[in-house]
């Protein structure tokens, strides 16, 4: 369980590398910390059947109700800001001037009205389009119309664009996404640009080398792996992908631009509370966008408390915006460490991918998991908010990480 000195050295080198990230980012002033909000996709998918299923279909009513919940139930105060439509809001055709239009039955008042409503709640409205000829669900795509579409979104008062990659050749992403980025900037409206550019490239399954430096210059957040689904295997696959590419990803996560491992499924159907908190912990360690896809009108209290947990949110929203270091993996248990402010402080997560037995005990010196500074640390267990006291490098940590769960600590350096 205790990593060797070599590993510790490696860990410290990576932590320093994390702090040294100074790569340029999209110059629109947005996403100084990872964006937080809500998105229709995983929970409400492409349900267009409003006559049969009025409360669960993609419609202005759904967005307005979620905006109400976000504003009134504490989510907005905790930092959740963007209420976002995913696919399936569009009419099947553009209008006679080639402009995009929402489905009139489901969005009877139009998008400007919806944006005004969301803004009146102190929130922001996100929308979805696709770089290809069609969206993934087959609605009109932006190819050949990108400038017009950017103008349309700005006129409506849109604040975030999720730009997908279906029905296009992923080899063209390196032209299409920068073009859309430019058109969005040209509108002079600050529109956060959420790109699926690298995800398109991995789908091609070929030798395309994803150029994260260029992506960071054009996008505020970028989806780079398969769609998350509401089960813990999906979460583990994403975490493992981030682990495998850890050294590369650390170079590009910083204020202005962040990796997007996809939606937060806390409050969903498919994962236990422990699995949900493990997702939330790892997303915070990745400095990931916290974009929930759940039903805020009907959410278990423990899921709500998790989404509003101020300790986890502070790690996610830490101003350094670093990607955690995967320090080691041993028998399915992973140790991740993230530098946070004030300098020298750490967030630490044990992520347990095993789902058998009663968990894994950790008995180790604080220095063996990263707390090496002789000044010592004030340590807080994050899920319950328990003050664990002061730790010096030789203090013994004695904890247990449950199966399919995580154990998360904030270790603030003492001055």
Residues forming the site for ligand GLA (CB under 6 A): 41, 86-87, 135-137, 164, 196, 227
Q: Write the CB contacts of 77 (distance below 8 Å, at least 6 apart in sequence).
A: none
Phi/psi at 140 (5° precision): -55, 130
**Shortest spacing between CB 166 and ligand GLA, in angstroms:** 6
Distance CA 61, CA 38 (A): 15
**Shortest spacing between CB 135 and ligand GLA, in angstroms:** 6
Q: Write the CB contacts of 397 (distance below 8 Å, at least 6 apart in sequence).
A: 362, 363, 364, 365, 366, 369, 391
Going by the DSSP 8-state scheme, the letter that residue 141 receives in this structure is: -
Q: How far is CA 195 from CA 79, 88, 183, 234, in A?
A: 22, 18, 14, 20
**Annotated active-site residue in 87, 103, 159, 164:** 164
Q: Is the peptide bond before 342 cis (omega within 30 degrees of 0)?
A: yes
- Is residue 225 within a helix (H) or strand (E), and if so which, with residue range? none
**Shortest spacing between CB 196 and ligand GLA, in angstroms:** 6
Displacement of CA 81 from its chain's centroid (Å): 13
Cα–Cα–Cα angle for 159, 164, 167, rounded to 5 degrees = 145
**Shortest spacing between CB 359 and ligand GLA, in angstroms:** 33
Judge whether 152 and 183 are in contact, CB under 8 Å: no
Long-range contacts of 339-346 (CB under 8 A, 24+ apart): 339/15, 339/18, 339/19, 340/314, 340/315, 340/410, 342/412, 342/413, 342/415, 343/19, 343/413, 344/373, 344/375, 344/413, 345/377, 345/410, 345/411, 345/412, 345/413, 346/370, 346/371, 346/377, 346/410, 346/411
Q: Is the CB of 87 or the CB of 368 nearer to ligand GLA?
A: 87
**Shortest spacing between CB 193 and ligand GLA, in angstroms:** 15
Give the residue at shortest CB distance from ligand GLA: 136
State yes or no: is 164 an active-site residue.
Answer: yes
Q: Is the CB of 263 or the CB of 317 nearer to ligand GLA?
A: 263
Q: Is the CB of 223 or the CB of 236 nearer to ligand GLA?
A: 223
Q: Is the CB of 222 or the CB of 383 nearer to ligand GLA?
A: 222
Q: Is the CB of 212 or the CB of 222 nearer to ligand GLA?
A: 222
**Shortest spacing between CB 266 and ligand GLA, in angstroms:** 17
**Annotated active-site residue in 68, 73, 172, 227:** 227
Q: Is the CB of 177 or the CB of 350 nearer to ligand GLA?
A: 177
**Shortest spacing between CB 398 and ligand GLA, in angstroms:** 41
Q: 50: helix, coil or strand?
A: coil
Q: Is the CB of 78 or the CB of 137 nearer to ligand GLA?
A: 137
156: which 2 tokens? Answer: 């409506």
Long-range contacts of 90-96 (CB under 8 A, 24+ apart): 90/135, 90/139, 90/140, 91/139, 91/140, 92/139, 92/140, 93/140, 94/140, 94/145
State yes or no: is 86 an active-site residue.
Answer: no
Sign of CA dihedral 218, 224, 229, 232: negative
> Which residues are identified as catalytic?
164, 227
């Amino acid at each position: 369980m205790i990593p060797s000195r070599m590993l510790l050295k490696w860990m410290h080198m990576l932590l320093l590398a994390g702090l040294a990230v100074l790569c340029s980012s999209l110059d629109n002033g947005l996403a100084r910390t990872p964006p937080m909000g809500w998105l229709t996709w995983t929970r409400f998918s492409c349900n267009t059947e409003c006559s049969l299923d009025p409360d669960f279909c993609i419609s202005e009513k759904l967005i307005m109700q979620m905006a109400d919940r976000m504003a009134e139930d504490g989510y907005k105060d905790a930092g959740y800001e963007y209420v976002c439509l995913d696919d399936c809001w569009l009419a099947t055709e553009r209008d006679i001037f080639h402009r995009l239009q929402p489905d009139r039955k489901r969005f009877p008042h139009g998008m400007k009205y919806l944006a005004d409503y969301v803004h009146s709640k102190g929130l922001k409205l996100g929308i979805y389009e696709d770089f290809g000829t069609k969206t993934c669900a087959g609605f009109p795509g932006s190819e050949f119309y990108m400038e017009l579409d950017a103008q349309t979104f700005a006129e409506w008062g849109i604040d975030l664009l999720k730009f997908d990659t279906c029905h296009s050749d992923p080899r063209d992403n390196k032209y299409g996404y920068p073009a859309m980025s430019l058109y969005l900037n040209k509108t002079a409206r600050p529109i956060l640009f959420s790109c699926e550019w690298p995800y398109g490239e991995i789908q091609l399954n070929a030798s395309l080398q994803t150029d994260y430096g260029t992506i960071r210059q054009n996008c505020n957040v970028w989806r780079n792996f398969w769609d998350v689904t509401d089960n813990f295997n999906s979460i583990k696959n994403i975490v493992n992908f981030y682990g495998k590419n850890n050294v590369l990803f650390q170079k590009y996560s910083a204020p202005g631009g962040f990796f997007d491992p996809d939606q937060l499924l806390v409050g969903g159907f498919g994962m236990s509370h422990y699995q949900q908190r493990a997702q939330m912990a790892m997303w915070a360690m990745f400095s990931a966008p916290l974009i929930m896809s759940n039903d805020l009108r009907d959410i278990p209290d423990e899921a709500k408390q998790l989404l509003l947990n101020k300790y986890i949110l502070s790690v996610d929203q830490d101003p350094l915006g670093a990607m955690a270091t995967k320090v080691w993996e041993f028998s399915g248990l992973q140790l991740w460490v993230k530098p946070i402010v004030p300098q020298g402080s750490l967030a630490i997560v044990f992520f347990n991918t095993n789902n058998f037995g009663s968990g894994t005990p950790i008995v180790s010196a604080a220095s063996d998991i990263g707390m090496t500074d002789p000044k010592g640390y004030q340590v807080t267990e994050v899920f319950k908010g328990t003050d664990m006291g002061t730790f010096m490098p030789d203090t013994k940590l004695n904890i247990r990480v449950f199966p399919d769960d995580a154990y998360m600590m904030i270790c603030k350096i003492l001055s």
